[in-house]
Amino acid sequence: MIKWLRRLIWLCVLLTISFGATCYYYAQSDLPLQSSPLQVELRYGSGLKSVAHQLESAGVLSYPDLFVLLARLQGRSSRIKAGNYEFFGHMSPLELLNQLTRGDANQLTMTIVEGWTFKQIRQNLANEKKIVSTISGLSDIEVLQKLGLDLDSAEGWFYPDAYHVVSGATDLSVLQRAYKLMDKHLKAEWSQRSLELPLKSPKEALILASIVEKETGRAIDRPMVAAVFVNRLKLGMRLQTDPTVIYGMGDTFDGNIRKSDLLFDTPYNTYTRLGLPPTPIAMPGLEAIHATLHPAQSNALYFVGRGDGSSKFSETLDEHVKAVNQYQRRGRVP
C-alpha cells in the first residue's frame, strides 16, 4: 500500500512538473500571428473565453483554452480591457496578456481632425515619437502604393477620427485603418444618397464633401451649404469657393486671399473653372459627407458668413449683395 502511495505521489509530482513546464513553454512561445501588424477590436462586455475566441478568429491565438488557463493562473481573468489593439510579430501569450490587462495604458491616441489635409496628417504622424515612421521621404503617390491603393491623390480618403494604437505601431498601419473607415462610410452613404444629385461617383461626393467641410462654420448649416453647391452644379454655375483656391495655391498662401488669387487659374480655382476640382481639398467628416449626399431642399445659390460662424443664404444675386453689405462690408452681426 505504501509502495503504491509513493508511486501515486511521484506521478502527481511528475504531472505537476510536466503541467508547469507546458504552461511555461506556452506562455513564452511566439504567437502565430497571421500578419504583422495585426489589428483587433475586442468587444466591450466580453468575458475571458469570449476574448480568447475573438483572438483566435482574428488569427492571434491557436490555443484559446491554454490562454484562458494562463490568464486564470495569473489571476488576471477579469482584468482584460476591451478596445482597439494592434499586435506585432515575436509576441508571446504572456506579453499578449500583459498588453490586454494594461489596456489603454499601453496605447496612444492618434487623431485625424475634420478638415485636415493629407499633408497635416503626415506631419502629425511624423511628430508622434511613439509611432514608427516608414513613409518619411516618400511622395504621397508612393505612400498610396505602399497601402496598395490605386488612387490619383491621397487627399480626402482618410477618415477623421481618434485612432487608438499601441506604441510601436507604424504610420502606415494608422493610414490603413483610416482609409478603410473612410471607404466604409463613403460606400454606405453613397448607397443611400438622395436622388437627382449631380454627382457621378463616390469620388465626386468626397470632393464636394471636402468643400462643404471647409465652408461650414456651424454644423447646423451643412445641409444648406451642400444645397448651394448642388444647385450651382445643376445649373452649370461656377462653385466660386475660396477654400479650393487656397488649396490650389499650396505653400504660397500667406493667410490672405486677394482678387489676383481669384483670377489666377489653377485646376482648383473654382472661380475660373466650371465643375468640381480634380480631387478633394481636405478630409471631410461623416456629417459633411451625409449633408453632401442629403442636401437641404432649397433654391439657395449664395451664402455669406454673418461673422458669428453662421451663414446667411440667398436665392438671388440681389439678396446676396444685400447680405454681403449687411454682414461683411459693414461688419454688423445681428
Report pLDDT for 162: 87
Per-residue pLDDT band for 193 (boundaries 50, 70, 90) equals very high
Report pLDDT for 94: 82
Report pLDDT for 12: 60
Res. 120: pLDDT tops 70: yes
Res. 118: pLDDT tops 70: yes
Report pLDDT for 100: 82
Report pLDDT for 105: 43
Q: Residues near 212 by Cβ (< 8 Å), separated by ≥ 6? A: 222, 225, 226, 229, 284, 288, 291, 292
Instruction: Provide the residue ranges of all domains of the chain, joining segments of one domain with +.
Output: 20-103, 107-188, 195-329
- Mean pLDDT, all residues of the chain: 86
Q: Please name the amino acid found at residue 124.
A: N
CA atoms of 14 and 18, how far apart (whole Å): 6
Per-residue pLDDT band for 7 (boundaries 50, 70, 90) equals low
Q: Which three cell numbers stand for residue 84?
A: 482597439
Report pLDDT for 291: 97
Report pLDDT for 3: 60
Largest separation between any pair of C-alpha atoms in the chain: 110
Res. 269: pLDDT tops 90: yes
Whether the CA torsion 156, 161, 162, 164 is positive or negative: it is negative
Res. 290: pLDDT tops 70: yes
Share of the chain above pLDDT 90, in %: 54
**Contact by Cβ (8 Å): 288, 210:** yes
Report pLDDT for 334: 36
What HEC string does 27-94 produce? HHCCCCCCCCCEEEEECCCCCHHHHHHHHHHCCCCCCHHHHHHHHHHCCCCCCCCCEEEEECCCCCHH
Share of the chain above pLDDT 70, in %: 86
Q: Which residue has the higher pLDDT, 278 or 325?
A: 278
* Mean pLDDT, residues 7-27 taken together: 57
Per-residue pLDDT band for 129 (boundaries 50, 70, 90) equals confident
Q: Which three cell numbers stand for residue 307?
A: 461673422
Res. 263: pLDDT tops 80: yes
DSSP state of 326: I
* Mean pLDDT, residues 154-167 taken together: 88
pTM: predicted TM-score of the whole model, two decimal places:
0.70
What HEC string does 145-168 produce? HHCCCCCCCCCCCCCCCEEEEECC
Count of CA atoms in the C-beta half-sphere (13 A) of 75: 0
**Contact by Cβ (8 Å): 194, 293:** yes
Q: 164 - beta bridge partners?
A: 109
CATH of the structural domain 20-103, one choice from 3.40.50.150, 3.30.1490.480, 3.40.605.10, 3.40.50.460:
3.30.1490.480
Which of 13-22, 78-87, 110-119, 292-301 shows the lowest mean pLDDT across its residues? 13-22
Q: Closest by alpha carbon to 118, among 103, 101, 138, 90?
A: 138
Per-residue pLDDT band for 42 (boundaries 50, 70, 90) equals confident
* Mean pLDDT, residues 177-190 taken together: 95
CA atoms of 71 and 16, how far apart (whole Å): 18
